[in-house]
Structure 1
Amino acid sequence: MSKTDHPVTPAVRFLRQHKIEFVPHLYPYEERGGTAHSAHCLNVDEHVVVKTIVLQNEAKKGLIVLMHGDKQISTRKLGRLLGMKHIEPADPQQANKWTGYLVGGTSPFGCKTTLPVYMERSIAALDKIYINGGKRGFLVEISPIALNALAAEAVDVAAD
């Protein structure tokens, strides 16, 4: 595949550096379209599209949670699990400062700041996942095993 077929983002550089195989997928980005839109464009189940959510705790420390596209994060469960009183989505400007990515184009790979990464445990059971490649309208298809490069901790924090 030539270099002009997809953007070369910090996430792509991270994947290449760690010798992680990936298949790039471009789609027309839609503001507030979320994983439902990208799954529809790629003709895949929304469950295998993994969203990267940047959160912050009461001390304004950042963390990343990887969640199935068709699920929501229970910040209450996450807070209890991590021993934190309050967890909320990070402000988009703060998320950009930590990751270097815009909301809608946030990848867990190649972030400016190393943040702790937590992934919903059931993601590991999938054959392949589609996760943001560091740009709006750009997903990479990878094996969930690739998330080992992030030292992601498996958790059960999906909302019931």
Structure 2
Amino acid sequence: MRKPAHVSETPATQFLKAQGVPFTSHPYAYEEHGGTRVSARELGVDEHTVIKTLVFEDEKAKPLLVLMHGDCKVSTKELARQIGCKKIEPCTPEQAQRHTGYLVGGTSPFGTKKALPVFVEHSILSLVKIYINGGRRGFLVGIEPSVVRNTLNAQSVNAALRG
């Protein structure tokens, strides 16, 4: 039996431990531009249970996080309508890193540099377990979906587009 790879602490795992949240560590071989397809394949899980942490800005350049299924996209028009904004756009990688403190591909909703509003696709909350970035490229944590609502005060939205 192979010994599991050691993963050093990240701001995300420090946050989860401080909150008393049980989680499992899942390091994998990161591939540039591989996304959730690669992490799901490497972990042997359904891509629908691998959750992306996406950084957006509203029309006033205020940042926000959206948690979305790995096999779905965000309808920015629908998201803006549901949260009362005129427009929502993805941040550039540089803006995303500045807002969260994480590199794109390693962005976690936990332990961000500054507190950001978090929106979670409603169907994520009905899954048994989710795999979400642990604060480093090639590292996911397994948690119960209720953790995002309970620790981040995440608001539920319905903005998923398949594919």
- Pairwise mapping of residues 13-52 of structure 1 onto structure 2 (< 5 A)? 13-52=14-53
Please report the TM-score for the alignment, with normalisation by the length of structure 2: 0.94
Displacement, 1:155?
0.7
Partners of 1:146 and 1:81 lie apart in 2 by 22
- Deviation track 1:35-62 (CA, whole Å, cap 9, x = no partner) reads 0000000000000000000000111100
Partners of 2:121 and 2:20 lie apart in 1 by 24
Q: What does residue 132 of structure 1 align with? A: 133
2:155 to 148, 153, 156: 153
Partners of 1:132 and 1:68 lie apart in 2 by 12
Equivalent position amino acid for 1:22 in 2: F
Partners of 1:28 and 1:58 lie apart in 2 by 36
Partners of 2:98 and 2:70 lie apart in 1 by 24
Equivalent position amino acid for 2:104 in 1: V
Partners of 1:70 and 1:47 lie apart in 2 by 5
Aligned residue for 2:160, secondary structure, equals: coil
Partners of 2:109 and 2:83 lie apart in 1 by 19
Q: What does residue 144 of structure 1 align with? A: 145
Q: What does residue 85 of structure 2 align with? A: 84
Unpaired segments ≥5 residues, structure 1:
none
Displacement, 1:26?
0.4
Displacement, 1:91?
1.2
Equivalent position amino acid for 1:121 in 2: H
Q: What does residue 97 of structure 1 align with? A: 98
Q: What stretches of structure 1 move > 2 A for 4+ residues in a row? A: none
Partners of 2:95 and 2:76 lie apart in 1 by 18
Q: What does residue 67 of structure 1 align with? A: 68
> How large is the RMSD of aligned CA atoms in angstroms?
1.0
Displacement, 1:146?
1.1
Identity %: 54
Partners of 2:93 and 2:73 lie apart in 1 by 18
Number of equivalenced pairs: 157
Unpaired segments ≥5 residues, structure 2:
none
